[in-house]
Amino acid sequence: MKMELNKNKMALALDIGTRSVVGLLGSLEEQKLVVHHSVVVFHENRAMFDGQIHDIEEVAKVIRKVKEKLESECGYELKEATIAAAGRALLTESVTVDLGLGHLQDVKWSHIQQIELKALQEAERQLEKSNAGDLRYFCVGHSIIQYYLDGTLIKNPLNHKGEMLSVHLIATFLPKLVVDSLYASVTGAGLEVDYMTLEPIAAIEVAVPENARLLNIALVDIGAGTSDIAITKDGSIHAYAMTDVAGDELTEYLAREKMLDFDSAESIKCQISITEKLDYEDILGIRHEELSEELIETITPAMKSVATQISESILKHNGKTPSAVFLIGGGSRMKGLPKMISQALELPEERVSVRNISTIQQLLYHPQDPIGPEGITPIGILKKALLKRHSDFIEITVNGRPIKLFQTRKLCIRDGLAALQYDPHLLIPKRGESVYITVNGEKREYYGEYGDPAIITKNQKKASLETELLNGDKVMIQPATTGPSAHVMLYDILNDDYQDKTLKHNGNFTETNCRLSNGDEISYKTLNHTVENADEITEKEDKDLLKDNKVIPSNDSNSQENIIEIKYNGNPLTITTEKESLIFVDLFDYIDFDRSEVQGELILRHNGQPAEYISPIKTMDEVWIYWA
């Protein structure tokens, strides 16, 4: 019964690494982080390289084993998990934004949320400007560097009075490919992702207490495929970085030097630091016995390379040698590596230390199996899960399909459609087929009518692409339709002064009340004109006006073109048309805009509001049409 009561307080954290998957099940009890169960399962095959998943099914199998073992220990089904991405292809954006509060206003929690959201939106804009490639990025975490109130540094502005609130934060982004592969692996194991962060963000949560972040400390998580770096300074997190050299470099070097397969080399590497002598067999079947010190000497060049690249990354992002370096992760166990990093950074050897879970404050660790520096990151992921769970994601449905979205900014329906890769062409009504008629030798096009625009609803109420999305919303999209084909009657194309007896339809005399079909030919003469006046006839007919998708004859004295002057994407645009009026969707006939291929999200704005396809267009209107 007790387990049932605690069930809703539990969180599952998964550390999906290059060599293994660690699963922790824990809770927060009286301000303490309690780890109840721990499971480690190693990959049987190399399904991940440098922190990137290459074989989703293989990784899903390992996660499923972790899930099943934890379920057997805790006694109930696990449905959701918190995960963290390695810093592979990590991009960071540092931004500072301001929020006006008014005259000496109390800072409310809503103000803090608003300014953080504003800062994340600015970080996304900066990222889009600096990265013009095809890769799509997700924000996977952010850290507050400092708050300021009226220009003064303040740790927590909540309930203080002021007029201008400012925040400086670092937002971290990963390519969609990295995020998608993690999601696919977790869902393939029968779990849902309820929170996602970045490994260095999670690790620093527990490895460097907030009261120690005044010091300039570099935290390095040396895994199998990547080494993730987080740097603290002046009380906050200053920078994140990553190098794609880590424990696997040592394994591969040892395998080459000693003629070993990868798994054997990995096993030997893991025992070097805890055993004096090792027996092993190479791929030729020859048995060897060597001292651990000799094997360490063998891989020293590889260790120096790893130490150098980690140190160079620290110096690049910190601008100088830090006060201290904390090493975590399985790779930090390698004997001699901390000393090499201290030498590369010109730090005293005691300033580079390996952190174990014994250094984590307010931690109760119940599992029997011992866990070392490789346990720091999964415990950090668990803490993030318990403190922040569900806050960074919303789950919606679009046409019945469930979608999870990162809530790093205000989300609207177009974000949901973008995540679903919904074809924007389905939102725009199309004209029906045109009818081409030849009149006195001149070929004319008579347009079909527009169909109805897409119908968008949220929770069964009318909505638009800009309607805000909240957790649990149900969005339905009814695609736009194609309108009826052109309907052209003979009397629609005739002037009042045509000669009835000369009227021919496809070479035959006819009446005016017949419907015309595509490709028909009409010929006639006007009163007091002969065949020799054909040029004049054509000139007059060119002035016919299009009304309700039909050509209506006009008198020369009253015939005039309609001129509409608007702003299109910020630039003046003069539209000269024979139509009496235009609607928004007509603009595509007058602008150079390629709709033949989807190039992102189609953004349509009309006078600062989401565009309605049938809205009238008037002089002085402002419209924006572009792919985002």
**pTM above threshold 0.95:** no
What band does 315 get if pLDDT is binned at 50, 70 and 90? Answer: very high
Q: How far apart are CA 87 and CA 228, in angstroms?
A: 6
What band does 186 get if pLDDT is binned at 50, 70 and 90? Answer: very high
What band does 545 get if pLDDT is binned at 50, 70 and 90? Answer: very low
pLDDT tens profile 586-604: 888 888 887 655 565 678 8
What band does 540 get if pLDDT is binned at 50, 70 and 90? Answer: very low
What band does 551 get if pLDDT is binned at 50, 70 and 90? Answer: very low
Does residue 283 carry a pLDDT above 90?
A: yes
pLDDT, residue 141, reads: 67
Helix (H, G, I), strand (E, B) or coil at 106: strand
User: HEC states along 254-316?
Assistant: HHHHHCCCHHHHHHHHHHHCCCCEEEEECCCCCEEEEEHHHHHHHCHHHHHHHHHHHHHHHHH
Does residue 457 carry a pLDDT above 80?
A: yes
pLDDT, residue 368, reads: 72
For 216, the enclosing helix (H) or strand (E) is none
pLDDT, residue 100, reads: 84
pLDDT tens profile 458-516: 999 998 877 888 888 999 999 988 889 888 888 888 766 666 667 888 888 888 788 89
| Mean pLDDT estimate for the chain | 82
Cβ pair 195, 141 in contact under 8 A: no
Cβ pair 225, 248 in contact under 8 A: yes
Average pLDDT over residues 354-372: 83
pLDDT tens profile 35-89: 999 999 988 887 887 667 888 999 999 999 999 999 998 888 999 999 988 766 6
Cβ pair 56, 185 in contact under 8 A: yes
Residue appearing with tokens 């992702």: 193
pLDDT, residue 260, reads: 93
Residue appearing with tokens 């969180």: 11
Going 139 to 144 to 149 to 151, the CA torsion angle's sign is negative
Q: How far apart are CA 327 and CA 372, in angstroms?
A: 11
Domains of the chain in start order, with CATH, are: 1-92+105-130+169-209+361-391 (3.30.420.40), 211-354 (3.30.420.40), 413-552 (no CATH), 562-627 (3.10.20.30)
Which positions ≥6 away from 184 have C-beta within 8 Å?
Answer: 56, 60
Average pLDDT over residues 182-191: 92
User: HEC states along 405-451?
Assistant: EECCCCCEHHHHHHHHCCCHHHHCCEECCCEEEEECCEEEEECCCEC
> Which of 92, 89, 90, 17 lies closest to 51, judged by CA?
17
pLDDT tens profile 421-456: 677 678 777 888 889 999 888 888 888 888 888 899
Phi, psi of 580 (to 5 degrees): -70, -30
Residue 346: exposed, middle, or buried by beta-carbon count in 10 A (0-12, 13-18, 19+)? Answer: exposed
